[in-house]
Amino acid sequence: MYRSQRLALKYLAAAIGFFGVMTLAGLMSAYYYINPDFLFGILHFNIAKTLHIDTLVIWLLMGFMGAIYWFLPEELGIETVGIRAAEIMFYLFCLVVLAVAAIFVVVQYGGSDNAGMWLVNQGRKYVEAPRWAAACIVLVMLVFSYNLIGTAIRARKITGIMGVLIVDLVPLVVLYLDAFPAFRNMSVDLFWWWWLVHLWVEATWEVLIGCIMALALMSLLGTSRRIVETWLYIEVALVLGTGILGLGHHYFWIGTPQYWLAIGGFFSAFEPLPLLGMVVHAIYDAGTHHMKTSNRPAFYWMLAEAFGNFIGGGVWGFMITLPQVNLYAHGTQWTASHGHFAFWGAYACGVISVAYLVLQRIRGAASVDGTAWRWAFAALNFGLIGMVGTLLVSGFAQAFIERAVGGSTLEAFINAQESAWFVDGMYARFACGLIFAAGYVALVYDLLTIGRRVPARAAQPALP
């Protein structure tokens, strides 16, 4: 096994660990809605929510990096260049995340001055990490970029997937620099902040997961390179074509000019179209392989990715993307429902799929299957669907009572929060969150044991 692949294992293990932290913080955040006095004076809702959404970003990013460190030496046929630096960066990354989590839990608040932003909390959603930590993450991403580009140069080889991946590194690193400035004008601040949040999630990460899924498809189903690369180019073009200017749907109500209503609505309304193409592609792949593969969990999680992306991003997103509806729905649990479903479908399922692929290889199992992964698959997906369904009901109540009927007054806000539809939705969401957490436990158990219970492969290809 290459050193790069050993590093990939560490990244994937850390990703699954932080997935657990995200789930726990999510459960806590859900519980605050039904018991607002929970941990009063010790740990408030905003800290639990910050941990929930920040670890979401971290575990997915670590999962992507793990997947790429796994596939990179196989793709280019040599050990990853700068692997020692990459290993150091892994430990730095983990230390930084743990230190930031500790600061959030213990210190919680900084002042609204430079010292507060450098040392404690930057205060902007998803990029709350203090600047010292953000600088460390930039360093990790720069070393990651060096690993990819350096390996391609030393191997004197550039495949289509590698080409797309290397080009994608530029926005991946450059857009993160948006985590640093703090403008006094809130509209200007939000304008650039969305470049980071939206263009990472709906452009850069989409390309990254597209490359990872292309590599995984070749590994899992033996799909030819010509096919996956052709589809990668088409899907990346379509996703970027709709996703980049789809950024505008975040500019509707932050004080930007009115033309963003048309631009944002128009391009983001196109976003379900390429996702439908991906669903048809998934049906084709599943059918031509008769749902048979040596790694059923990886295959099913890959299918879940295609369907989850379409339903979470496409269906749930289209409900709220046109400006007239978004006026009432933005910032309610309706939006949270879309966010949960889209992240799960677009990214989380893909990372779990790659984890199963990697485990099959390192454990030398001819095939991996069993019952534990089915329980994990069912509980995680039903728990998630339950959460997004109940959040949707609560969001409907907010949009209806608070926004459309009450006109967004404080009294209307309180009425919506006290409405039975909202309150019951929050209880049901917590119950579904427990099912999701049970699914996480089953997933961890399965990842620890799968492949150990079946006969090893007759012969393994020799790897350095």
Which residues contribute to the site for other proteins (CB under 8 A)?
A: 226-227, 230-231, 262, 265-266, 269-270, 272-273, 276-277, 279-281, 283-284, 287-288, 310-311, 314-316, 318-320, 322, 324-325, 327-329, 334, 396, 399-401, 403-405
Q: Identity (one letter) of the amino acid at 50?
A: T
Q: How far apart are CA 101 and CA 99, in angstroms?
A: 5
Q: Which is nearer to other proteins, 391 or 435 (CB)?
A: 391
How far apart are CB 133 and other proteins at their closest, in Å?
38
Min dist. Cβ of residue 203 to other proteins (A): 21
Q: Distance between CA atoms of 41 and 183, rounded to whole angstroms?
A: 31
Q: How far is the CB of 287 from other proteins (least distance, A)?
A: 4
Q: How far is the CB of 313 from other proteins (least distance, A)?
A: 10
Q: How far is the CB of 420 from other proteins (least distance, A)?
A: 16
Alpha helices in 177-204 (DSSP H): 186-199
Q: Cβ distance 412 to 402 under 8 Å? A: yes
Q: Would you say 67 or 397 has its CB closer to other proteins?
A: 397
Are the beta carbons of 305 and 345 closer than 8 angstroms?
A: yes
| Least distance CB 258 / other proteins (angstroms) | 12
CB 2 within 8 A of CB 464: yes
Ramachandran angles phi, psi of 404, nearest 5°: -70, -45
What is the dihedral sign for C-alpha 69, 70, 71, 72? positive
b/e code 51-82 from CB counts within 10 Å (16+ = b): bbbbbbbbbbbbbbbbbbbbbbbbbbebbbbb
Sorted by sequence, the CB contacts under 8 Å of residue 364 that are 6+ apart come out as: 451, 456, 457, 460
Q: Which is nearer to other proteins, 91 or 284 (CB)?
A: 284
Selection from 274, 271, 443 nearest residue 373 by Cα: 443
Instruction: Say if CB 301 and CB 222 are below 8 A apart.
Output: no
Residues whose CB is less than 8 angstroms from the CB of residue 399 and which lie 6 or more positions away in sequence, other chains included: 328, 329, 332, 334
Minimum distance of other proteins from residue 325's CB (angstroms): 5
Please, which residue, 153 or 237, has the CB nearer to other proteins? 237
Residue 76 is classified by DSSP as H
Residue among 11 and 334 whose Cβ is closer to other proteins = 334
Rank residues 185 and 288 by Cβ distance to other proteins and give the closer one. 288
User: Measured in whole angstroms, how far is the alpha carbon of residue 252 from the centre of its chain?
Assistant: 24
> Side chain identity at 243, as an amino acid letter?
G
Spatial separation of the C-alpha atoms in residues 202 and 245, rounded to whole Å: 10
| Nearer residue to other proteins within complex by CB, 130 or 313 | 313
Strand partners, 295: 368
Q: Min. distance of Cβ 205 from other proteins in angstroms?
A: 22
Comparison of 39 and 238: residue with beta carbon closer to other proteins: 238
**280 vs 463, beta carbon nearer other proteins:** 280
User: Of the two residues 193 and 328, which places its CB atom closer to other proteins in the complex?
Assistant: 328
As measured in angstroms, the least distance from the Cβ of 283 to other proteins is: 3
Nearer to other proteins, 236 or 359 (CB): 236
Q: What sign does the dihedral 228-230-233-234 (CA atoms) show? A: negative
CB of 28 to other proteins, least distance (A): 29
Question: Which DSSP helix (H) or strand (E) runs through 375?
Answer: helix 372-397
8 A C-beta contact, residue 220 and residue 302: yes
Q: How far is the CB of 81 from other proteins (least distance, A)?
A: 33
Residue 460 CB, nearest approach to other proteins (Å): 29
CA–CA separation, 402 and 398 (whole Å) = 5
For helices 160-176 and 225-246, the axis angle rounded to 10 degrees is: 30
Instruction: Report the interhelical angle of 349-362 vs 45-76 (nearest 10°).
Output: 50
Residue 154 or residue 281: which is nearer to other proteins going by CB? 281
